[in-house]
Chains A and B, each alone.
Chain A
Amino acid sequence: NAGVMQNPRHLVRRRGQEARLRCSPMKGHSHVYWYRQLPEEGLKFMVYLQKENIIDESGMPKERFSAEFPKEGPSILRIQQVVRGDSAAYFCASSPLGSSYNEQFFGPGTRLTVL
């Protein structure tokens, strides 16, 4: 049973470009969460999605960031017009249902570097 998959593992962008991060949840999992981790910090929640629905986006910056989890295909975290402060590791987690007693399992992350 494959775990949570994220790609790319490393992404380099210049300021002003767009970054697209992909997450394929574990088989059978329909809930996806995105977190951001700065160096020497813990993970910070960004957004929680179910198929075709955003459930909680309270951690998403108001501008330039968006997320989707379509009926078919991976979840996408999109960052438009990236700035140097967007450089971080972005982790996706998935759970089979809402995560009470169904814990979140994390992918290996995408490390975004903005030049």
Chain B
Amino acid sequence: GQQLNQSPQSMFIQEGEDVSMNCTSSSIFNTWLWYKQDPGEGPVLLIALYKAGELTSNGRLTAQFGITRKDSFLNISASIPSDVGIYFCAGRGTQGGSEKLVFGKGTKLTVNP
């Protein structure tokens, strides 16, 4: 089945630093999504990308849909303590017309004040 490789697994940064994380796949995806999950909660959608090459921003967050449709990255600029959490990439593929999402294993972000 389709799989996403998300890296890094974890990051420890100082407040104010920029952060970058990415996802790669051996399969093509039609949509890339980035979610953030806080402990004990469900994932919250941050950014959705629908076209190869698309670059989209949401406040301090920027994400890009790779031109090959097999990768995506998420950047967070000027990190703040509330950015702490687990960030997941998710792809919606082309198999069988299903709307299911395939998730990466997450990047756990720790921000030191």
Report the tally of A-B residue pairs with Cβ distances under 8 A: 74
Q: How many residues of A contact B (CB 8 A)?
A: 31
Across the interface, which residues of B come within 8 angstroms of A69, CB to CB?
Answer: none
Which residue of chain A is the closest to B30 with respect to CB atoms?
Answer: A100
A58 contacts B100, CB within 8 Å?
A: yes
Q: How large is the interface on B (under 10, 10 to 19, 20 to 34, 35 or more residues)?
A: 20 to 34
Interface centre among B40, B101, B103, by most chain A C-beta atoms within 10 angstroms, is B101
The one of A41, A58, A91 in contact with B42, judged by C-beta atoms closer than 8 angstroms, is: A91
B residues whose Cβ falls under 8 Å from a Cβ of A: 4, 6, 30-31, 33, 35, 40-45, 48, 50, 88, 90, 92, 96, 98-106
A residues whose Cβ falls under 8 Å from a Cβ of B: 4, 6, 31, 33, 35, 40-45, 48, 55-56, 58-59, 91, 93, 95, 98-101, 103-109, 111
